[in-house]
Amino acid sequence: MSDAKTPDDPLQRERALSRWDNEGGEPVSTLAETLPGVAHIPMPANGPAEIGARKTGLIIVDEVNGFATVGAGYLAPPAPNAQVTRMVDETDRLAKRFTGDRRPILAFLDTHVPGKAEPPYPPHCEAGTGEENLVPELAWLEQDPNTTLVRKDCINGFVGSITADGSNRVVDWTNKNALEELLVVGICTDICVMDFVLTMLSARNHGLMPTLKDILVYDAGCSTYDLPRAAAEKIGLPASAAHPQDVAHYMGLYFMHSRGARLVDQVILSAAR
């Protein structure tokens, strides 16, 4: 007997996964209702993190207009989104404290050559469109001497940090500052943030950053996009491109933790040593 909360018909299941009624535009399911099997996987314990005793750097992933400013592009929220707003607010709060304490910050900015595709996604964050720039709330970082900006042309910021001479800007930044831990925030939790964090964990284990001990991912400082099935199909994408926000955010956090990142639900900042 099938679970009534999980439709057997693929079309109906796809519709439930999108979290939206394609006709009325209203939410139709919660995470527990849509994927009961996933919802029963316990989210790893994520407690507070106190930033103070260790040398800690803040990594901001892709909080640019094309992903986080309403109406700015194909992958930007079409309407105000609580998860995205919370991410930007928390990032701004943390960045101001980090730079005030002279702790290093590195911000990735997704930036693509116009007309050069990044499958499977539609055009986004092309240079010269404004989508590739930090959201207004974080634009001050462009003039902050404590912040290193890295424009990347691919999903994974670690790969995007590789330079023509083979060096890596994020590895060099970590080593130059002798960082013991990184606090990561940004968008999208399950795409750019997750790919970067997983690669950094492997690079740490490989010994590329001798002082780095831990990578922390701040739940409230991350978000992802919500793309209902109808909206995906309207712009010519397959139904499989539907991207339910809550499910994707959850799974991104889960996989990062399963590979060794530490999830935190609160960041307590004390004076730098």
Kindly write down the DSSP assignment for every residue of 168-237, as one continuous string: BHHHHHHHHTT-SEEEEEEE-IIIIIHHHHHHHHHHHHTTSSTT--EEEEEEEEEE---B-HHHHHHTT-
Task: Answer whether residue 232 shows pLDDT above 60.
Answer: yes
Task: Answer whether residue 40 shows pLDDT above 50.
Answer: yes
Query: Residue 58, SS3?
Result: strand
In the chain, DSSP finds a helix count (H) and a strand count (E) of: 10, 7
pLDDT in tens, 47-80: 889 998 899 999 999 999 999 999 998 889 989 9
Task: Answer whether residue 33 shows pLDDT above 70.
Answer: no
Predicted pLDDT of residue 41: 58
Predicted pLDDT of residue 168: 98
Q: φ and ψ at 255, to 5 degrees? A: -70, -35
- In sequence order, what are the beta bridge partners of 191? none
Predicted pLDDT of residue 39: 53
Task: Answer whether residue 261 shows pLDDT above 70.
Answer: yes
Highest mean pLDDT among 16-20, 76-80, 174-178, 231-235: 174-178
Distance (Å, rounded) from C-alpha 99 to C-alpha 175? 18
Task: Answer whether residue 30 shows pLDDT above 50.
Answer: no
pLDDT band at 13 (very low <50, low <70, confident <90, very high): very low
121-125, 132-136, 143-147, 150-154: segment of lowest average pLDDT: 121-125
- CB atoms inside a 10 Å sphere around CB 29: 21
Task: Answer whether residue 264 shows pLDDT above 50.
Answer: yes
Q: φ and ψ at 159, to 5 degrees? A: -65, -40
Query: Residue 241, SS3?
Result: helix
Distance (Å, rounded) from C-alpha 170 to C-alpha 107? 10
Q: Give buried/exposed letters for 105-116 (b at 16+ CB in 10 A, else e).
A: bbbbbbbbeeee
Task: Answer whether residue 146 shows pLDDT above 90.
Answer: yes
Predicted pLDDT of residue 15: 33
pLDDT band at 16 (very low <50, low <70, confident <90, very high): very low
Predicted pLDDT of residue 238: 82
pLDDT band at 22 (very low <50, low <70, confident <90, very high): very low
